Structure 1
Amino acid sequence: MTASNKKRWTEREEQLFVQLATRFGKNFKRMEPHLPGRSYSQIRSHFYNHVRRELGREARSQESQKQIMTQKQEVEQVQYQEANVPEPDNSLVYTFIAFSEL
């Protein structure tokens, strides 16, 4: 493919591509008649680039969710610990004061 006939996929082609990929899977020959102006190799390349791109997004999304959940758990743990801090035992302070006054 030369640079002159290499063109971006239009929004319409992209939508049709997703429908065809859902319907035909990796059978790029069956997709070809539905995408005029796109060759078998262009469709195949676009499929694998599209799949990689989507998998990358999904992986990043899952990683973000893990980080958010971890941070949320840490915050909840700190909040729980702060809410359940026992009151200081002032009996030792009072005992010290009582002995120091003697």
Structure 2
Amino acid sequence: MSDLITLDQAKAQLRIDDTESDTELGEMVTAASALVIGYLKTGTAAAYTVDTVPPHVQTAVKLVLASLYADREGSTDPIGVAVQSILARDRDPALA
């Protein structure tokens, strides 16, 4: 599995300018990418790379990342209604 957004894209989404938290942020990018791929449950999604992922899927990853970043204790589901709506057309309902 590949990260679906770059560190620079993640930092832009979260409005982070410094490099102080790059390692932690990189881990969150990986987690957000895995959550989106897992939600989609398709072989196609598992094969995406940062260069081949559709823009709407990247948007979903950014929203999941923002949720993970804002709620580091994990008290809310990072796959919120907006993410579900964005990904609905690509999700395999047979495996949902």
TM-score for the superposition, normalised by structure 1: 0.28
* Greater relative CO (CA pairs within 8 A, separation 6+): 2
TM-score for the superposition, normalised by structure 2: 0.29
Per residue, is there more helix in 1 or in 2?
A: 1
